[in-house]
Chain A
Amino acid sequence: MSWIDIGHIDEVPLRGARLVKTHIGCIAVFRTAEAEVFAATNSCPHRGGPLSEGIVHGQSVTCPLHNWVFDLNTGEAQGADDGRITTYPVRLEGGRILLDDSAVAQRSAA
């Protein structure tokens, strides 16, 4: 696994998200706590809502279009909704956000 530096944690608002653009689609990078990040596809499986625009709470995000809630650990939709978003390995090192580069390069295979 190799890691790509995509930016500093302070560029992502606490309980917010930023977008990473790749050739095969957008990845949302979520900041759930002072030093905690997750990465997942930006697109909600329901109607394609942009998850990076959703409200981030606990370790979950709520889709801004129709309030589907996803657990960012597993990608599973919570409650009555049935669906899953792809999550990507991401980690923090000295304040830098490192994204697994296979997420950027071979997204369709994930």
Chain B
Amino acid sequence: MKQRLVVIGAGMASGRVLEHLTDAAPDAFDITLFNAEPRGNYNRIMLSPVLSGEKTYQEIVTHDAAWYAERSIACRFGEKVEKIDREMKVVEGANGHVPYDKLVIATGSNPFIIPLPGHDLDGVIAYRDLEDTQQMMGMGPDNKVVVIGGGLLGLEAAAGMAAHGVDVTVVHIIGHLMERQLDEAAGYLLKKSLEDKGIKICLQANSKEVLGHDGKIRALLLDDGTELPCDLLVMAVGIRPNTALAQKAGLATGRGVHVDDQMLTSDPDVYAVGECVEHDGEVFGLVAPLYDQAKVAAQALLEEEAAFAQKTLSTKLKVTGCDLFSAGDFADAPGREDIVFRDPSRGVYKRLVIEEDRLIGAVMYGDTADGSWFFGLIKDGTNIDEMRETLIFGPAYQGGDTADPLSAVAALPPEAEICGCNGVCKGDIVEAINAGANDLGAVRASTKASASCATCTGLVEQVLQATLGDAFQMPTAQPICGCTDLTHEDVRRLIQGQELKSQAAVWQELGWKTPNGCHVCRPAINYYLLADWPLEYQDDPQSRLVNERKHANIQKDGTFSVVPRMWGGITTPQELRAIADAADKYDVPTVKVTGGQRIDLLGVKGEDLPAIWSDLNNAGLVSGHAYSKGLRTVKTCVGTDHCRFGTQDSTGLGVKLEKILWGSWTPHKLKLAVSGCPRNCAEATCKDIGVVCVDSGYQISIGGAAGMDVKETELLCQVPSEIEAIEVVMAVTQAYRESGKYLDRLYKWLGKVGMDWVKTQVVDDLENRAALVERFELSQSIYRKDPWAEHVRDKAQTYAPIADFTLEAAE
């Protein structure tokens, strides 16, 4: 007698089970197939091409009515299974019972819906089935859609709708797209391609609430207060195995329905396949392992020997024009080595991960032609020691060129600005070279490129070399570090000229040789990005040296020093009491008066920092930035308030300057002083910027130092009014921020650009001075704030250990 087989769920995995079974043994089973969706098996992974209009639903149907009829499969579509009675061996459907000898559970998975307030409003959907797809296809150019989730599915949904002209925004909680398949560099290139298709992408964005009107969605609210208006919200944030039925039936379940290597559940007559199962601690979302499972389950049902084994997987995104490939393990195990290849001019990124002479992972973007070859090497565990040097160039390539260090400059379009001072584009320079200017001096003479502040000299030379080839001898320039061949000046100009606004963009577009830089280049790039793109770039604490990350100075024993700000060196008895109380409360071993007219608490334990800051904040004290490459102090004398020689209110000006400049980041530390008369009690003439008050106004001089080098300032200008003095100081600070090399004190920068250039920028050209002031103010709208208060509020727990085993009772 035929055995009775019941299958619950008509998805891709169970569909494959039925194919194998009816092909191998057409008469072995009487089959009944339940499906909650009112249709049979279709190719769910092709929903994205249906959405984008490249395919129709009819084209992705795998099994039609005729197929089921030919195989005498009794279809119970659109009927929900209420219960499995394992004792009686009966499946209870909504329209009646079906007894079984063998049962296959293929209930698949449910999309995860984030339980945000408002998630049940009309217009909030997942991306899972044909109904969802049809709802998305109903959107047009007049609609706005937000997709939560920058993974495979979310991006396919976004691209599909964008293809119909819908205004789509993708909201992703992580710092780069598809973080499970891609690293940052590939994620950056993907973001760029999607943005070129008109899709807006918000990274590191936390959704807070779905806002509605009359029961229908109106907008998505992010926790930073941004409102994204939308007519439809698609949540594509992952799936959860659907185990409800199996669990109710008393089968062993964890994240999914537990199965062994034969796809057998804890009941010897019940099998499970597909996205609902958990095998060896893993659950499954990609189709390849589901097909393997289906084959094993079919063989097991026919009592043949078979075993399911998990394999390395590869991923491709089904979005036209976004060529990416990812396979294997590129971010999970220690003991590995990276090979990175970047070709900025073609937008290509490749990274191979090698462990013990075997390729174990590959990520590629832009050129994925060799993907299957690499995937083969990964699956076969081929020893690649012999071809390690040329491996990344693929199977067709053995021996030959390495990446061209000039490619970043070669990739620039003719309209890219090389020289910011004189507004000279690459095209102008190339034209001059073609007209006979064959060295730096000739280019300067004919175009003025690099003839002013000269920081773009390296780039002009690279344009010469790229245009003239071997006819031009490159002078040797010092690159930032081993991660790049470019100098600080080159990188800075390219960040500005190519509008690079993230570290991943810099690494990729400028051909970095390491995955994510090193301790030398990271702080420099972080500074250049935040100084050039204050609104777009977010400061990265992990690219800062410890003092700037922790907003305190580390001491040789690992403790820290805490220096609250005293504006212009002025304090009050109440502030002094708060400092004394803090010193007592936190057992501060040393209290010292600094040269910058404030008080240093030395020897504070790292874990105590948020608490001591909070106490000081409560007394109105804020960070003195005594640790920063930024504004330190504005030292003052008492001026006209008390001094019989004082000519102007030097204390008042000092306080004003400090309140304007505090919190700003500069290439190196920045110290100011204001003296009330030429007796110069505030020692203004050995500061980075010094102001000396005289009867007729304010003398501003710059470029002093009293450290390893001792230098007297040079006079920049004298101005009649306090307001003008403040503007000149802001403008010169901004000029230094914009063209200074990271870790050059102001006097070193002055030595490179020259006093004449600074004068033309901030003294003679009033329009330019105003523009510098405006850009400084723009940046300060972000950075003029107390980092201590922020860390107390948001980051206090990061100052404590993640785990503390010393607190457990000793044995």
A contacts, CB < 8 Å to B: 4, 6-7, 11-16, 18-23, 26, 29, 33-36, 38, 47-50, 53-60, 62, 64-65, 67, 69, 72-73, 92, 97, 99, 104
Q: Is the CB of B803 within 8 A of A65?
A: no
Of B50-58, B221-229, B331-339, B447-455, the one contacting chain A is B331-339
Q: State whether A14 and B542 are in contact (beta carbons under 8 Å apart), knowing that A23-B810, A57-B519 are contacts in the complex.
A: yes
Q: Is the CB of A65 within 8 A of B556?
A: yes
The 8 Å CB contact of A15, one of B334, B338, B516, B558, is B516
- Of chain A, the residue at the smallest CB distance from B807 is A21
Q: Is the CB of B554 within 8 A of A65?
A: yes
Q: Is the CB of B518 within 8 A of A62?
A: yes
Q: Is the CB of A57 within 8 A of B514?
A: yes
Nearest-Cβ distance from residue A36 to partner chain B, whole angstroms: 5
Q: Is the CB of A6 within 8 A of B517?
A: no
Interface size class of B (residues with CB under 8 A): 35 or more
- Complex Cα distance, B804 from A48, in Å, reads 20
12 interchain pairs (CB within 8 A)?
Answer: A6-B803, A20-B801, A21-B806, A23-B810, A36-B333, A36-B334, A38-B334, A53-B554, A54-B519, A56-B542, A57-B519, A60-B518
Residues of B within 8 A of A56 (CB): 542
Tell me if B144 counts as interface (CB < 8 A to partner A). Answer: no
- Of chain B, the residue at the smallest CB distance from A47 is B556
- Complex Cα distance, B803 from A47, in Å, reads 25
- Of chain B, the residue at the smallest CB distance from A15 is B542
Q: State whether A18 and B798 are in contact (beta carbons under 8 Å apart), knowing that A7-B803, A53-B546 are contacts in the complex.
A: yes
- Complex Cα distance, B518 from A67, in Å, reads 11
- Complex Cα distance, B806 from A92, in Å, reads 23
Residues of A within 8 A of B331 (CB): 33-36
Residues of B within 8 A of A65 (CB): 554, 556
Q: Is the CB of A23 within 8 A of B806?
A: yes
Tell me if B522 counts as interface (CB < 8 A to partner A). Answer: yes
Tell me if B381 counts as interface (CB < 8 A to partner A). Answer: no
Q: Is the CB of B545 within 8 A of A73?
A: no
B contacts, CB < 8 Å to A: 174-175, 179-180, 183, 331-336, 338, 514-519, 522-523, 541-546, 549-550, 554, 556-558, 606, 798, 801-806, 810
Q: Is the CB of B802 within 8 A of A50?
A: no
Number of A-B contacts (CB under 8 A): 109
Known: A16-B541, A22-B805. 16 other contacts (CB 8 A): A6-B802, A13-B541, A15-B542, A16-B542, A20-B804, A21-B801, A22-B806, A35-B180, A36-B332, A50-B546, A53-B546, A55-B523, A55-B545, A58-B515, A58-B516, A92-B332
Residues of B within 8 A of A92 (CB): 332
The 8 Å CB contact of B802, one of A20, A58, A64, is A20
Q: State whether A50 and B558 are in contact (beta carbons under 8 Å apart), knowing that A15-B542, A55-B523, A64-B546 are contacts in the complex.
A: yes
Residues of A within 8 A of B519 (CB): 54-55, 57, 62, 67, 69
Residues of A within 8 A of B338 (CB): 58
- Complex Cα distance, B544 from A60, in Å, reads 15
Residues of B within 8 A of A55 (CB): 518-519, 522-523, 542-545
The 8 Å CB contact of B805, one of A36, A60, A104, is A104
Q: Is the CB of B549 within 8 A of A53?
A: yes
Residues of B within 8 A of A57 (CB): 514, 516-519, 522
- Of chain B, the residue at the smallest CB distance from A63 is B519
Q: Is the CB of A21 within 8 A of B334?
A: no
Nearest-Cβ distance from residue B172 to partner chain A, whole angstroms: 13
- Complex Cα distance, B800 from A20, in Å, reads 9
Nearest-Cβ distance from residue B360 to partner chain A, whole angstroms: 13
The 8 Å CB contact of A58, one of B333, B518, B544, B556, is B518
The 8 Å CB contact of A54, one of B336, B546, B606, B805, is B546
Q: State whether A59 and B805 are in contact (beta carbons under 8 Å apart), knowing that A35-B331, A65-B556 are contacts in the complex.
A: no
Q: Is the CB of B801 within 8 A of A18?
A: yes
Most chain B CB neighbours (cut-off 10 Å) among A19, A38, A59, A72: A19
Question: Across chains A and B, which 5 residue pairs bring their CB atoms closest together, nearest first?
Answer: A62-B519, A18-B802, A55-B519, A6-B803, A64-B546
Residues of B within 8 A of A38 (CB): 334
